[in-house]
Structure 1
Amino acid sequence: MNRGSRLPLSHLADMTDDAGLFEHALLTAPRREHGYCLDDVARGLAVLCRFPETSFLSDRLLTIYLGFTLAALAPDGRCHNRMATDREWRDEPGLGDWWGRALWGLGAAATHAPSNEARKRALDGFRVAAQQRSPHARAMAFAALGAGEILIADPREEAARALLHDALDTLGPADPSPGWPWPEPRLRYANGAVVEAFLVSGVALPAPRAVLTGLRLLTFLMDAESHDARLSVTPTTGRGPGEAGPGYDQQPIEVAALADACARAYGITGDPQWREGVRAAWAWFRGDNDAGVPMFDSHTGGGYDGLEPGGRNLNQGAESTLAVLATAQQAQRLGVLG
């Protein structure tokens, strides 16, 4: 991936059929027997909406992902997550992370999809899902990312405004312990999304204290997820007070969420340290990580599923591929793709 080049979507396309995005891969081949999940499809919708220029392929993928996300909505705003290849849902509608990511994807599409029709369909879907509230902080953080996009674009959108207020109430205490400022007892997964939720809520509402909270948490997170002048992100087991890295497996989604948070902070403050954070995130994918191995295929855009002590998980699933593309988008936009 070179600066100024179009990011390759060939692996993402290989992981997609006319129904949706397959969740898992065996090396580069989609594992169709595991079906599709809204978690990944909605994440893909958000990523596709961030391309400054569209193509026939990106438009086709966006149309598929938007259709899947809307089909996952129940009338009361809850969402299905898992669909099998027979096109039947395998779960009951719920309010887990997938619900929050649906709102994230729909919010992105409502403001950035290439056609008026797609933007209208996405906004209608957002309003359906925004009837609900999740008891889970991560789900509400993901939902806030979509609501923030909509409210920034249209301050009259009350469904988005109400959701952001409730997300801030759910995300954590206003005055956390100075020894552990994170609003949870442990760092978990996609931690950057929590930070970005504070930042985007603070800009959209507006709520200046939320912006300050987000910047304080991002400073803490960058310090906690760095080791020997490179990113060493929270492993799958999490990380609590006093626990030092490196730890494994490190997941690409953690790096992508950190890149998004740093890009958002740079857009708000213009502080070059946050641009450097995006550069460090992209460097992690290029091999400046604890195992010293690249975490993506530069020819196809496929992402490897996890960083391990001796190298990498060679499977290229949907989540990791989207994490690569999302981080590359931010690096390209800020001129640090290199």
Structure 2
Amino acid sequence: MTVAGPVLITSTRSGAVPVPTFEHLARLTDDTGLFEHARHATARREHGYCTDDVARGLVVTSREPDPAPAVLQLTERYLTFLTHAQDAHGAFHNRLGFDRSWTDQPGLGDWWGRALWGLGTAAARSPASWIRKEAVTAFNHGASCRSTAVRAMTFAALGAAELLRVDPDNALAAALLADAAAAIGQPGPDPSWLWPHEQLTYANAALAEAVIAAGSLLDRPPILAAGLRMLAWLLDTQTSADHLSVVPVGGWQRGGPRLRHDQQPIEVAALADACAAAAAVTGEHAWRRGIRRSIAWFLGDNDVGAVMWDPETGGGYDGLTVHGPNLNQGAESTLALISTLQHRIPRDTSRSPISSGQDRSPDRLSSISDSS
């Protein structure tokens, strides 16, 4: 199957797409790691750091193809945090207090999966050779573990997929990706509920993306087709009146009432990533509609018509409530904003010290119009 190039968006119905900025991410980062929470744009040090968010930070900074020096410095700090969080068996601590003391024991929860996602992305994409080497060592150490949590396996699979794209002979990554796809399962026979589980909870599109990656990279066409069906159903289910209306923080049980709030940026970012993966694997431009709607959700094309980020700070708002955005700009929401905006071509070729250093030449990135 032909693999297409990057699918990136320059504009949406809500207007021109802003350049992703790392300014607020730098604001939330100190010499140890990434603070989890913020009050408006001010970091709340009392809540400390968590591996979950540091790993997500490593994903987005590693995705930058030509990072500015300050972005590369963020990558280095996040990588150092993750290697410090990993124990001798490949598991990870999740929570570090501001006093630099771990408040939990190493485990294989979501944070283990996200750590492998970050490490796999850094190992595959970082322009710094020493970062790639350190990241692949830590990834391989953790990839021999298996979690009983489906989403932990899902996030780990995304890191495995990143590695397999540049190193198809990585047996640890291939085995992890196959096991994750098996743990996620297959779409059901009921067209009104194709999802393989009885509830939609959080980061739902990441499951479809992991199945798509397994089908593509492991050369298993039925699994690829299953992942694409899952994603198509999920995107259709979460679209209302031509805009995204994602499953809220409380989830949605099959056969139960579906609430609309509070919607979380992580759901939108997961959809953007999954649609970009589907477009890259299939070469089908229809998936760009999901990317465009994901970006537009942050720009105000959502159930409330509210802009979901602060252009002054570069931070993403923590959630969409019935009354508008939660104005706190924590790590998870800011990273969701950045990762979604990374699926675009900036119009402005200028570069601030902490902005993207992305190569914007026409032969590197192909523009896509918003007409379809």
TM-score (norm 1): 0.95
Q: Which residue of 1 aligns with 2:357?
A: none
Corresponding letter in the other structure for 1:103: L
Structure 1 residues 189, 4: closer, same or farther in 2, change over 3 A? closer
Cα distance, 1:131 vs. partner?
Answer: 1.5
Is 1:152 aligned to residue 165 of structure 2? yes
Is 1:117 aligned to residue 130 of structure 2? yes
Q: Which residue of 1 aligns with 2:356?
A: none
Q: Which residue of 2 aligns with 1:104?
A: 117
Is 1:185 aligned to residue 187 of structure 2? no
Q: Distance in 2 between matches of 1:290 and 1:314?
A: 17
Corresponding letter in the other structure for 2:26: A
1:58 to 61, 71, 93: 71
Q: Which residue of 2 aligns with 1:254?
A: 267
Q: Deviations over 1:283-303 (max 9, x none)?
A: 000000011110012243200
State the SS of the aligned residue for 1:148.
helix
Q: Which residue of 2 aligns with 1:326?
A: 339
State the SS of the aligned residue for 1:220.
helix
1:162 to 149, 154, 175: 175
Q: Distance in 2 between matches of 1:67 and 1:278?
A: 32
State the SS of the aligned residue for 1:331.
coil
Whether the aligned pair in 1 keeps the contact of 2:66 and 2:127 (CA below 8 Å) is no
Whether the aligned pair in 1 keeps the contact of 2:65 and 2:127 (CA below 8 Å) is no
Whether the aligned pair in 2 keeps the contact of 1:107 and 1:146 (CA below 8 Å) is yes
Where in structure 2 are the equivalents of 1:238-253 lying within 5 Å? 238-242=251-255, 247-253=260-266
Whether the aligned pair in 1 keeps the contact of 2:252 and 2:259 (CA below 8 Å) is no
Measured on the aligned residues, the alpha-carbon RMSD in Å equals: 1.9
Cα distance, 1:7 vs. partner?
Answer: 2.3
Q: Distance in 2 between matches of 1:62 and 1:239?
A: 35
Q: Distance in 2 between matches of 1:184 and 1:174?
A: 8
- Tell me which moved more, 282-291 or 235-244: 235-244
Whether the aligned pair in 2 keeps the contact of 1:176 and 1:183 (CA below 8 Å) is no
Whether the aligned pair in 1 keeps the contact of 2:188 and 2:195 (CA below 8 Å) is no
Q: Distance in 2 between matches of 1:218 and 1:324?
A: 20
Q: Which residue of 1 aligns with 2:303?
A: 290
Corresponding letter in the other structure for 1:71: H
Is 1:41 aligned to residue 59 of structure 2? no
Q: Which residue of 2 aligns with 1:85?
A: 98
Q: Distance in 1 between matches of 2:136 and 2:293?
A: 34
- Tell me which moved more, 3-12 or 195-204: 3-12
Q: Distance in 1 between matches of 2:82 and 2:367?
A: 32
Structure 1 unaligned residues grouped into runs of 5+: none
State the SS of the aligned residue for 2:183.
helix
Corresponding letter in the other structure for 2:78: Y
Q: Distance in 2 between matches of 1:231 and 1:4?
A: 17
Structure 2 unaligned residues grouped into runs of 5+: 1-9, 346-364
Q: Distance in 1 between matches of 2:256 and 2:343?
A: 29
- Tell me which moved more, 255-264 or 158-167: 158-167
Cα distance, 1:270 vs. partner?
Answer: 2.0
State the SS of the aligned residue for 2:181.
helix
State the SS of the aligned residue for 1:49.
helix
Is 1:303 aligned to residue 316 of structure 2? yes
- Give the structure with the higher percent helix: 1
Is 1:196 aligned to residue 171 of structure 2? no
Q: Deviations over 1:99-128 (max 9, x none)?
A: 000010000001111211100000000011
Q: Deviations over 1:64-88 (max 9, x none)?
A: 0010011111110111000011111
Cα distance, 1:8 vs. partner?
Answer: 1.5
Cα distance, 1:129 vs. partner?
Answer: 0.6
Is 1:280 aligned to residue 293 of structure 2? yes
Is 1:224 aligned to residue 237 of structure 2? yes
Whether the aligned pair in 2 keeps the contact of 1:278 and 1:331 (CA below 8 Å) is no
Cα distance, 1:229 vs. partner?
Answer: 1.2
Q: Distance in 1 between matches of 2:333 and 2:368?
A: 20
Structure 1 residues 278, 31: closer, same or farther in 2, change over 3 A? same
Whose relative contact order is higher, 1 or 2, with alpha carbons under 8 Å and at least 6 apart? 2
- Tell me which moved more, 265-274 or 311-320: 265-274
Whether the aligned pair in 2 keeps the contact of 1:232 and 1:245 (CA below 8 Å) is no
Q: Deviations over 1:2-33 (max 9, x none)?
A: 87975211111000000000000001000000
Cα distance, 1:334 vs. partner?
Answer: 6.9
Is 1:265 aligned to residue 278 of structure 2? yes
Whether the aligned pair in 1 keeps the contact of 2:35 and 2:43 (CA below 8 Å) is yes
Cα distance, 1:244 vs. partner?
Answer: 6.4
2:151 to 117, 138, 151: 138
Whether the aligned pair in 1 keeps the contact of 2:187 and 2:230 (CA below 8 Å) is no
